[in-house]
Structure 1
């Protein structure tokens, strides 16, 4: 799965290679994606390379080779949707097993599993559905779409969120102080943290003293959703 920015960059590189026979420079990629620094491009390139979509050729300037392109053509970004399930999956994956018994299909709903979210140092924002899981209707009550993310890291352990847990998120773009949210930082990275507004600054607080609170100007942080449920496998 790729983020919206990763997809944009991969598509831009492919278009330039097809049109001119050579990849764009880092400056051209930065301008095309409207980023403020080339460090953001470096992180995107590294992520694409790690996922096997591109290859950097040694000892050649501006040498990027596209290895593959995602099968999906979705470009809409972080737009999870709710799918109402008519039955409970007969063989759920171990990592998404429910700690409660769903008595009937009428009491359950399938929601998209969007991949992993960092409870630690932010990782790339999630943009595409990787699977679906079935959860009790009570967990997704209320207005708005819901989606699930697998937690990576231990920065929220004192809030009862462990590495490997699956969190259920209600999609929304605002938050109250103290809410645990999915926060998108600089349109590049996503993390699960407690939200605090301090004037025109946003603090993303960990629930583990080993991690420092990270503070950003409010225009650099976008709330993607609020934590409303937790699924744990024992």
Structure 2
């Protein structure tokens, strides 16, 4: 049994999708070009239309990249993640009127371990030091579970007056919502609830390790 087939249990993939991904990777290795649906269907013992559905799903989940200028439009992005891992899109921005997971808004993908299988996750790069005392630094990636509600004390990604999103701790105060920084240099943002739209709850932080030399 190959490593890819053994990794079938990677969360977010159906029973058949690891086999489809493996077949694409093997064809790439042997031929240097992507396989066509006609190449894959007999090898997998399924119809072309079914292969196409699996390919579209694998693209959406970040396991395949788009190849320009070819009718054979997919190639693997890399190794299949280990058990319990998921590929999560890194989005360029969170703003009103722009679907968070729109294809044009996805800049990269990261692998997240122990991700809840049913949750919709995205990652967002933090700009600034307003959450430094919560361990979230300028340039970090926050992993966010997409949801439109949050509990008092949650660190959230939120829109205020439909402007671009901010990462803050949500506090509920007498008829108002306060978005509180984790840095005393930044005052809380206090607004009425209707002016705040929660986009998700921060469930993890990724930091690029800097090395000298």
TM-score bracket, normalised by the shorter chain, equals: 0.5 to 0.7
Give the TM-score normalised by structure 1: 0.51
Shift of 1:196: 0.4
CA contact (8 A) 1:83 1:112 kept: no
The answer to whether residue 134 in structure 2 is matched with residue 148 in structure 1 is no
Give the TM-score normalised by structure 2: 0.56
What is the alpha-carbon distance in structure 1 between the residues aligned to residue 163 and residue 128 of structure 2?
18
Structure 1 unmatched ranges of 5 or more: 1-81, 91-101, 118-123
Shift of 1:187: 1.4
Alignment partner for residue 130 of structure 1, among 106, 112, 130? 106
What is the alpha-carbon distance in structure 2 between the residues aligned to residue 221 and residue 190 of structure 1?
10
- Residues 166-222 of structure 1: CA distance to partner in whole angstroms, max 9, x if unpaired? 010001111111100001111123100000011321000000011001100111001
CA contact (8 A) 1:170 1:227 kept: yes
What is the DSSP-based 3-state SS (H/G/I as helix, E as strand, rest coil) of the residue aligned with 1:152?
coil
How do 1:173-188 residues align onto structure 2 when only pairs under 5 Å count? 173-188=148-163
Larger Rg: 2
CA contact (8 A) 1:85 1:109 kept: no
Q: Which has the bigger relative contact order, CA under 8 A and spacing at least 6?
A: 1
> What residue in structure 1 maps to residue 192 of structure 2?
217
The answer to whether residue 82 in structure 2 is matched with residue 109 in structure 1 is no
C-alpha distance 131-189 of structure 1, shift in aligned 2 (>3 A): closer
* Count of paired positions: 135
C-alpha distance 130-142 of structure 1, shift in aligned 2 (>3 A): closer
How do 1:1-234 residues align onto structure 2 when only pairs under 5 Å count? 83-86=60-63, 89-90=77-78, 104-116=81-93, 127=98, 128=102, 129-138=105-114, 140-141=115-116, 143-234=118-209
CA contact (8 A) 1:89 1:134 kept: no
Structure 2 unmatched ranges of 5 or more: 1-58, 65-75
Task: Please give the root-mean-square deviation of Cα atoms over the aligned residues, in Å.
Answer: 2.7
C-alpha distance 161-89 of structure 1, shift in aligned 2 (>3 A): farther
